[in-house]
Amino acid sequence: MSGDIDKAALRREAVSRRAALAAQSDSAVAGDRLRDRFLAAITLRANTAVSGYWPMRDEVDPRPLLLELHRRRHPIGLPVVLGRGEPLIFRSWRPGDTLLAGAFGVSLPAEDRDEIRPEVVIVPMLAFDLTGHRLGYGGGYYDRTLAQLRRGGGAVLAVGVAYAGQQVPRIPAGEHDQKLDWIVTEAGAARIGYETTTGPSRARPV
């Protein structure tokens, strides 16, 4: 069985698993816990630009985290798809902004919003393992985006967010798959290559 077939089967299973987890969870409570785990584990320098996402379907809700990061004066961006095979760009978002309906059910900032270059990318996912690999929807947008941001040694931190129950033993990974630096769930935070933590980490600010 090829890696592509393995990923396709895992993706179908992951969609069902995440739907079940979302149905069993209080999304508001999970979002608040995700925010608290992130802030306890990851210390950001002042004015660090962060990209998030607007949740759709059964994705864990990062909006409580985005609201708190905005309150702390971090510039926030949301992803925009320019075209198939292209990296994402990120347009500025503030609480209260009217969002536009984009392809695949994605909510987008208006076209007149400034583009930002994030130093921290909050990444949604269908499944993850503790080596830092994630399973997305199959379009490769975040892999291309992270590769572009990291090209030439660019400073960017990739933080995958999900429900804890989305963890699997292993994600089949290819040469173009970009690894995460952190995984944060409602249950805890894991810095890849380090022990899982539910409290403040000793990592230097990013």
Q: What's 173's DSSP letter?
A: -
State the average pLDDT over residues 31-35.
Answer: 98
Instruction: Using pLDDT thresholds of 50, 70 and 90, give the confidence band for residue 203.
Output: very low
β-bridge pairing 189-191 and 182-184? antiparallel
In this model, does residue 30 exceed pLDDT 70? yes
Tens of pLDDT, residues 165-174: 999 999 998 8
Conformation bin of residue 193: beta by default, left when phi > 0, alpha when psi is -120 to 50: left
Type of residue found at 198: T
Identify the H or E element spanning 70. Answer: helix 63-71
Here the CATH number for the domain that contains residue 111 is 3.40.50.10420
202 domain residue, yes or no: no
From residue 183, alpha-carbon distances to 41, 115, 168, 203 in Å are 10, 26, 13, 14
152 domain residue, yes or no: yes
204 domain residue, yes or no: no
Tens of pLDDT, residues 73-124: 999 999 999 888 899 999 999 999 999 988 777 888 999 999 999 999 999 9
Could you give the dihedral angle defined by the CA atoms of residues 60, 43, 189 and 197, in that order, rounded to the nearest 10 degrees?
Answer: -160
**pLDDT at 4 (0 to 100):** 58
**pLDDT at 5 (0 to 100):** 59
What tokens appear for 4 in the block?
């592509």
85 domain residue, yes or no: yes
State the average pLDDT over residues 114-143.
Answer: 96
The least confident of 29-43, 118-132, 143-157 is: 143-157
As a whole number of angstroms, the distance between CA 37 and CA 199 comes to 7
Type of residue found at 40: A
Mean pLDDT for the chain?
90
- Closest to 12 in 3D by CA, of 178, 180, 168: 168
Say if residues 125 and 162 touch (Cβ distance below 8 Å).
yes
As a whole number of angstroms, the distance between CA 203 and CA 131 comes to 18
Interaxial angle between packed helices 27-41 and 63-71, expressed in degrees from 0 to 180 and rounded to the nearest 10: 50
pLDDT-above-90 percentage for the chain: 77
91 domain residue, yes or no: yes
Instruction: Using pLDDT thresholds of 50, 70 and 90, give the confidence band for residue 193.
Output: confident
Say if residues 121 and 142 touch (Cβ distance below 8 Å).
yes
Q: How many structural domains are present in the chain?
A: 1
Q: Which domain covers residue 26, as residue numbers?
A: 3-197
In this model, does residue 12 exceed pLDDT 80? yes
162 domain residue, yes or no: yes
203 domain residue, yes or no: no
168 domain residue, yes or no: yes
Q: What's 187's DSSP letter?
A: S
Instruction: Using pLDDT thresholds of 50, 70 and 90, give the confidence band for residue 49.
Output: very high
From residue 114, alpha-carbon distances to 11, 73, 76, 92, 145 in Å are 34, 16, 11, 5, 18
